[in-house]
Chains A and B, each alone.
Chain A
Amino acid sequence: MASLDDLKKRISSVKSTQKITKAMKMVAAAKLRRAQENAERGRPYSEKMNKIILNLSSSVSDKENAPKLLQGTGQEKTHLCVVLTSDRGLCGGFNSNIIKKAKLFFQKILNENKSLKIITVGSKGYDQLKRQYKNNIIEKLSFKDSKNINYFDANKVGKIIIEKFQKEEFDVCTIFYNQFKNVITQIPQEQQIIPLKSESEKDQTNNESYEFEPEEDEILSNLLPKNISTQIFKAMLENSASEQGSRMSAMDNATRNAGEMVDKLTIQYNRSRQAAITKELIEIISGAESL
């Protein structure tokens, strides 16, 4: 059994850990509010962008000559995966969830004998993937230095992707990120951005004839690269809200667990203190009796 002194030390150490996790939770909660607002405010842009592109692509008459970003290269040999993770740890299952999802996808691709290229955004993703997929990672990015998520950073990622696409280094591009649902649920997502998958192919309600200025093709070829940056920006916003949410609930759990531990240790401490006192008393009494 641990001595009283040891117990005392452990209690105080757990207490100070609790203080840290509590503070982290509070910071995450404050940041979460901002991140969530940002994510929600960013949604209209990407939604509108998507809608316009869908409208456009349904009205492109010459499907054969449509931009490659929309149609793809016609084959599916090389996959590029962009894995968006955080730069900091201590946020529960946030990073591992994305990585798990991504690894599943990687395995599927490799099983089909296709080649795989990976870009990691955020240092935690790189740390987790480098052991298994070191040779597949062609680029690692991290925006540790920028304080807020901004469009400029997303644009940088977008430009790298487009550049690689134009050099025909890959055929299909998929991004992985966490979608923010609420504080306790974040859903890891995979989203194909090149070629563009039109999910709402069925609802042809918006078959309106638009007037275009300049021509459809020209607008499309200008718009598609922008859309990629926009999608990445959206993913980054969702990710940052998810990260804070995930950290908040993880730290909340940690605080609670630490509290439980303190209670348990305190009881143990009191018991052994009592036992020591009783023992001493017995010794004194039996000593007195024997006189």
Chain B
Amino acid sequence: MSEEFKVEIVNPEKSFFSKEDVTEVVVPAFEGEMGILKDHIPIISFLKPGIIKVLRKSEEESYFIEDGILEFKENNLSILTSSIIKVSDLSKEKIDKIISDSEKETSLEDLDDQKKFLIDQKIDILRSLN
């Protein structure tokens, strides 16, 4: 028995990533990091800003996402996200730009706590990448 399952990551513009031979995925779920292996029970979860790690036999890839929804069913993992960037493609300037944009956003007044929390989290994660 193989321990592999199918992963598909889509953003509004296109199907970003689709692989059939994934062994493990680590996602930043709403209530903490979550690892998903084959035969996980069906789950729908919200994602917060963070790093998705996709582990395959030969390699490991990381992606930075700003938000998302995750659905796992019958060994099919779908992740919907509005913005995703491969970590190795993130240059220092890009990170700085996202951080400064996010900081501007936090300075706006009409933010509820939850949003503020999410943006803070995003900044923290980007700082740790830097």
Binding site for B on A (CB under 8 A): 38, 41-42, 44-46, 48-49, 51-52, 55-56, 150-151, 154, 208-214, 218-219, 222-223, 226, 230, 233
Contact = CB atoms under 8 A, between A and B. Distances in A.
A44 to B, nearest CB: 5
B31 A45 contact: no
Interface residues of B, number: 23
Interface of A is mostly: helix
B15 interface: yes
Contact of B12 (A51, A56, A211, A230): A230
B10 A45 contact: yes
Contacts of A48: 10, 71, 78, 80
A41 B80 contact: no
B46 A38 contact: no
B31 A41 contact: no
B46 A222 contact: yes
Contacts of B82: 151, 226
A49 B11 CA distance: 11
B44 A214 contact: no
Which of A150, A154, A211: most chain B CB closer than 10 A?
A: A211
A213 B43 contact: yes
A44 B71 CA distance: 14
A233 B71 CA distance: 21
A290 to B, nearest CB: 85
Contacts, number: 72
Given A49-B80, A214-B30, A55 B44 contact: yes
Contacts of A45: 10-12, 15, 80
B14 A213 contact: no
Contacts of A209: 42
Contacts of A230: 12
Contacts of B8: 44
A212 B45 contact: yes
B73 interface: yes
Contact of A214 (B13, B15, B46, B78): B46
B29 interface: yes
Interface in B1-41: 8, 10-15, 29-31, 34, 41
A210 B73 CA distance: 8
